Every structure is written in C-alpha cells, then in structure tokens.
Chains A and B, each alone.
Chain A
C-alpha cells in the first residue's frame, strides 16, 4: 500500500516539477510547484515524518509560494509573451549546478545501506514542548514583530 502511494506521489512530483520548469507562464509554474510540494509532503508523511510534511505544506506551499504569487502580481510579471526563451549562456550555469546536485545526491544514495530511519521521528508534541519551554519569549517577540511589520507596511504602502 505504502509503496503504491509512494510511486503515485513521486510520479506526480516529478511531472509537476518538470512542468513548473518548462511552463512559460509564471503563475502556472507556481501552481505546478505547489502541486509538487504537496506530493513531497505526502512522501514525508509516508516516511513517518508528519511534522515535516505539515511544515512543507504550511511554509513552502502556503507561505513562500503565496509570497511569490503576490510579487508576480504586484510587479505585473505575469506576461509570458514579453520574455523570450533564455539564451544558451543562461542555461549553462543552471545545467552545471543541476549536475552537481544530481551527482551529490546519487553519490549519497549509492552509499545508503537500507532502512536506517528511526522508529519514531519527532512529532508535533516534541516540537511544541521545545518551542514553548525554551523559546517562550521568542514566540511573543515574533508575534509583536509581525504586528508592527504590518503596521509599517500599511503606513508606507497607503495611498496618500
């Protein structure tokens, strides 16, 4: 059952990621990337890491991608017809970096000897205990910080 789910999710992830790279329209690309993140979250869940799966959805799919979307809409970048295909010179660094990452991961995967995952990865409870017992003051400060960042952004962005 888990293996079947894994292959379905992995296929979805790979296809969505390829579409995100090749898509001409930035907004479509982002939606594909979000799909890929959701599939990745599913895989994390299958690997007994529910917390990581949750963070993947909340932080990457939720916050970061929405931010991307906002920037694209605000700067009015959603016009694929305005930009041409990237030149060969622009592909080269991407290919180089991609090849490096691929080689590193293949090397690491080759040395991976079977199932070494711990029986139980930290869950929400362990995370919450650490957060609230060690970083109580930090949480309060961050919430204040967000409030005043919004106040500042509203003030500076308000129409006259």
Chain B
C-alpha cells in the first residue's frame, strides 16, 4: 500500500492546550454526576487543571519550538501570554461559584466553557498560521458568546450574549476577509512566509495586501475593543454575569493583542510605517473615547467597561511604538491589568446581593467603613488602574509611554499621560463614595468565601509586588518580546 508522508508532528508544542482541553472535556463528563449545590468543586478541579497546564508551560520557557509544519509555535512570547490567560482564568473561576449560586444559575457547564475559551486564547497566542489564529479566535468567541448569556434567567445577560454574538460574528467576517486577501496576495497563510513574500516589491505594492492588512486590523481592533469598534463593550460587560465580565475584560483582550502583535510585527513589518500611523490614530481615539465616556458613567460595571477601552488605548500606545520597550511594556501591562481588573470585579461581586447587583456608584456609599479590608483592596485596584505609584499599573504605563517616546512619538505619549490623568477622576469618585458618603445600607450580606479571599490576596500581591519590585517580571517580559 502506498504511504503518505506526514511531516513530523511535534506534540509537545501544543501540550498545554491539549492538557487544558482534556481537563475541560473531563469536567463536562464529571459535571453530570455532581449535584447542583456542589458545582463549586468543578471550579477547584479546573484550577488544578490550570496549574498543571501552567507547569507544562514553564518547561518550554527559553526553548522555542514549532510544530505541525509551522502552524503553531511555543516561544517565550506565546508562553508569557499564556501565563496571563491562565492566571486570569484561574482568578475568574475562583469568584464564579459564589456569584452563580447567588443568582441561581450555578450550572457546571461554566467551567469547561471557561477552560475552553482559555484554550482558544492560547492557540491565538501561539498561532503562526493565520488559520490557527482564526480558529483560536473562533474557539474563544463561541465560548464567550455562551458565557456572556450564561445567566439564562436574566434578560440583560441574554441581551449581552446575543449582542456579543451578532457583533462578534460580524467582526469575525472582517478578520477572515482580511486573511483571505492576505492569502490571495502572498499565496500563504504562514506569518513567516507572508513576511518573506512581502519582501518583494511586487507583492508589497499589491493593493490587495494593504486591504487585507486593514481588514485584519479592523477585526482585531473589534476584539480588543479599540475605538471606533468599541460600541459592544459596555452593553456586553454590563449584561454578562460579573465573573464572566472579569474573565472577558482581560484574557480575550490580551489574546487579541497577542495575535495582532504577531501578525503585524512578524508578518507585515514591511508596512511598519503604515500600520504605526494607523495605530497612532486608533490609540488616541481609543484612550480619549474610553476615558471621556467613563467620566459620565453612574454604573460601575459600565465605568470599568469604558476604562477597559481606555486601557486598550494605552496598550496601543506601546504597540504603535513597535520597539522592544513598548512591546515588553505591553506584556507587563497586560499581566498587571489581569490582577487589578479581576480584583476590582471581585469586590463588585461582593457588593451585590441576590436580585440586586448594586452596580450604581451610589450603592457604594460608606462601603469602606463597613468593610475596611475590602475597601482598602478596592482602593489598591483603583489606584493601580489609575496608574498611581507604587501599584503595578504605574510601572506598566511608564514602560508603554517611554516606549512611545523612544520611538519618537512624543505627542502620543503626552496625550496618553493627559488621558491617564483624566482617568483618575472617575476612579477616585468610587473611593469618594466609599469613604466620604454616609452609608445607606449596612452591607450585612457581604460574605467572604475562602475562594474570594484567595483571589483577592493573589490580586493584591499581583498589583503590589510588581509595582514595588518590577525587576523580575520586567526581565521575563523583555525576554518574551518578538524581536
């Protein structure tokens, strides 16, 4: 019989993804045998799975390898991003069970879906073939559509799921069209080969390739919620169950940036001048729109949604720079953003009670006195989000903006700093409500479960330690850049 030559398959490249998918599928089966009140144990099992995956990741650090004829790669860049995804997934899972029990929708499917979304993000970070990147994005998105609408009893959650699905599917079309045009112009979907093909003047002067790049940029800009493609963010973040919002605001954004960075930096460095000026405009728009709209928000979840748009803008500043400092700044900032944002959402969950989410700023009146520890924790996260030293948010912004200055984008850095200053207003407003308003409630429903305590401790440590001694993580980030 004739045999077919299959190229060498290097399974160790996708070992982390495989472990996590197997855990997700096993949980799907175990879920059937677990009683409704005990679904929280599935969360602990998924965290165990995440820890094993994290361990399998650390083995690959410093020894980049690719597999499946170059469609996936396990380099430091991918590993650093995967670390962010796993940490944010674990922290979101820690705060999920209590919320879902309170809202009466603690179905076990949430954990496999979250793990599976994480697998999608990991594929996006390590995809070196447009095909893999696209499939990773689809895996991520489909899980997120379901997760956003997970609270089936709530109209807002249903609305969030449907809205995210419709707009997400629409934006995926842009991305796919861009990839198709890029394939048409270069004859390959592998990022390295695209870069090689684009070296020739005949290919790079092809308008089809430019159109492909623009369409891909549009698709990615939607996924990372950059203005003017940010409209879906506040509605989806507000409607989705809060732990899912925490999950969605960090991992998928980081995954979008990971794929975006790889496509632009590795596949299309020929157009660096063009995409830098494009990103310059996107960054300024995103920061300004996010921050200015956030100033007017009375609902804290919406406020954090607009703040997450603004943060995407800060990251785009580092991206525009496109140099080593800017890129390592992105990695560092994404990691610290995971800790501060999920930490803030954890406190938001605790302030709510059954049937009443208590998401309005007025609901926070006097919270800082009734629960001093939680109040201080919230202040730490908000200070970090605002970029006030010694929190990690400050160090991250410092590197993002200094990357821009090094690359000669002085004005961009100035606009970034001004925006950052404006953002202090709405973060501080939460603190003013917490400490300077008379309490109208006694907040006796706030129940700190062990999982929440662990999550908050990790979050505070993750915000304060890199903020005070950024050396170690910064060094890792510098080793993980794509250059």
With A133-B7, A138-B135 known as contacts, the answer to whether A151 contacts B69 (CB < 8 A) is: no
A118-160 residues at the B interface, CB under 8 angstroms: 125, 128-129, 132-138, 141-142, 144-145, 147-149, 151-152, 155-156, 160
Bound together, the chains give a CA A129 to CA B7 distance in angstroms of: 10
Q: How far is the CA of A132 from the CA of B135 in the complex (A)?
A: 16
> Given A136-B9, A144-B119, A160-B152, list of 14 further CB < 8 A pairs?
A129-B4, A132-B4, A134-B69, A134-B71, A138-B71, A138-B132, A141-B139, A144-B21, A145-B138, A145-B139, A147-B25, A148-B112, A151-B109, A151-B113
A153 to B, closest residue via Cβ: B146
A136 to B113, CA, bound (A): 23
Closest 6 CB pairs of A and B: A152-B146, A137-B68, A141-B135, A155-B109, A136-B68, A148-B116
Most buried by B among A134, A145, A148: A148
Q: How far is the CA of A82 from the CA of B107 in the complex (A)?
A: 41
Q: Chain A nearest CB: distance from B268 CB in Å?
A: 22
Q: What are 24 contact pairs spanning A and B, CB under 8 A?
A: A128-B4, A132-B6, A133-B5, A134-B69, A135-B131, A136-B6, A136-B69, A137-B14, A137-B67, A137-B68, A137-B71, A137-B72, A138-B135, A141-B135, A144-B116, A144-B119, A145-B135, A148-B139, A149-B142, A151-B109, A152-B142, A156-B152, A156-B161, A160-B153
Tell me whether B145 is interfacial, beta carbon within 8 Å. Answer: yes
Within 8 Å by CB of B146, from A129, A138, A156, lies A156
**Knowing A155-B107, A155-B146 touch, does A142 contact B135 (C-beta < 8 A)?**
yes
> Which B residues, 439 to 454, have Cβ-Cβ distances below 8 Å to chain A?
none
Residues of chain B at the chain A interface (Cβ within 8 Å):
4-7, 9, 14, 21, 24-25, 28, 67-69, 71-72, 107, 109, 112-113, 116, 119, 123, 129, 131-132, 135-136, 138-139, 142-143, 145-146, 149-150, 152-153, 161
Chain A binding surface, main DSSP class: helix
Does A133 contact B6, Cβ atoms closer than 8 Å? yes
Residues of B within 8 A of A125 (CB): 4
Contacts of A152 in B (CB 8 A): 109, 113, 142-143, 145-146
Nearest chain B CB to A55 CB, angstrom units: 19
A113 and B25 CA atoms in complex are apart in Å by: 56
In the complex formed, the residue of A with least CB distance to B153 is A160
Binding site for B on A (CB under 8 A): 125, 128-129, 132-138, 141-142, 144-145, 147-149, 151-152, 155-156, 160
Q: Could you tell me the distance in whole angstroms from the C-beta of B159 to the nearest C-beta in chain A?
A: 13
Bound together, the chains give a CA A148 to CA B149 distance in angstroms of 15
Q: How far is the CA of A126 from the CA of B92 in the complex (A)?
A: 45
Q: Who on chain B is nearest to A157 by CB?
A: B152
Complex interface: chain A residues within 8 A of B161 (CB):
156
* Inter-subunit contact B69/A133 (CB<8 Å): yes
Contact A138 B143 (CB under 8 A): no
Complex CA–CA separation, A147 to B109 (angstroms): 13
Q: Which residues on the A side are within 8 Å of B5 (C-beta)?
A: 133
CA distance A6 to B68 in the complex (A): 43
Rounded to whole angstroms, the CA-CA distance of A147 and B143 in the bound complex is 11
Shortest C-beta distance, B98 to chain A (Å), equals 20
With both chains docked as a complex, state the minimum distance between the C-beta of A136 and any C-beta of chain B, in angstroms: 5
Q: Which residues of A contact B138 (CB under 8 A)?
A: 145
Chain B residues whose C-beta falls within 8 Å of the C-beta of A160 in the assembled complex:
152-153
What residues on B are CB-neighbors of A141 within 8 Å?
123, 132, 135-136, 139
Residues on A with beta carbons closer than 8 Å to the beta carbon of B14: 137
| Among A141, A144, A149: residue with most chain B CB under 10 A | A141
Please state if B4 and A151 are interface contacts (CB–CB under 8 Å).
no
Residues of A within 8 Å of B68, CB to CB, are 136-137
Q: Are B139 and A144 in contact (CB under 8 A)?
A: yes
Report Cα–Cα, A152/B9, bound state, in Å.
31
- Cβ B109 vs Cβ A138 within 8 A: no
The smallest beta-carbon distance between A130 and chain B, in angstroms, is 10
- Cα A50 to Cα B69 with chains together (Å): 28
- A134, B129: Cα distance in complex, Å: 10
B71 partner, pick from A129, A135, A147, beta carbons under 8 A? A135
For A155, the chain B residues whose CB sits under 8 A away are 107, 109, 146, 150
Interfacial chain A residues near B6, Cβ < 8 Å: 132-133, 136
Contacts of A151 in B (CB 8 A): 28, 109, 112-113, 146
Chain A residue nearest to B117 in the complex (CB): A148
Residues of A within 8 A of B129 (CB): 138
**Within the complex, what minimum Cβ distance (angstroms) separates B383 from chain A?**
38
B479 smallest CB distance to A (angstroms): 26
User: Given that A133-B7, A144-B139 are known contacts, is A138 also in contact with B25, CB under 8 Å in the complex?
Assistant: no
Q: Closest CB of chain A to B45's CB: distance in Å?
A: 17
Q: Which residues of A contact B28 (CB under 8 A)?
A: 151
Q: Which residue on B lies nearest to A136, using beta carbons? A: B68
Question: In angstroms, how far is the closest chain B Cβ from the Cβ of A133?
Answer: 5
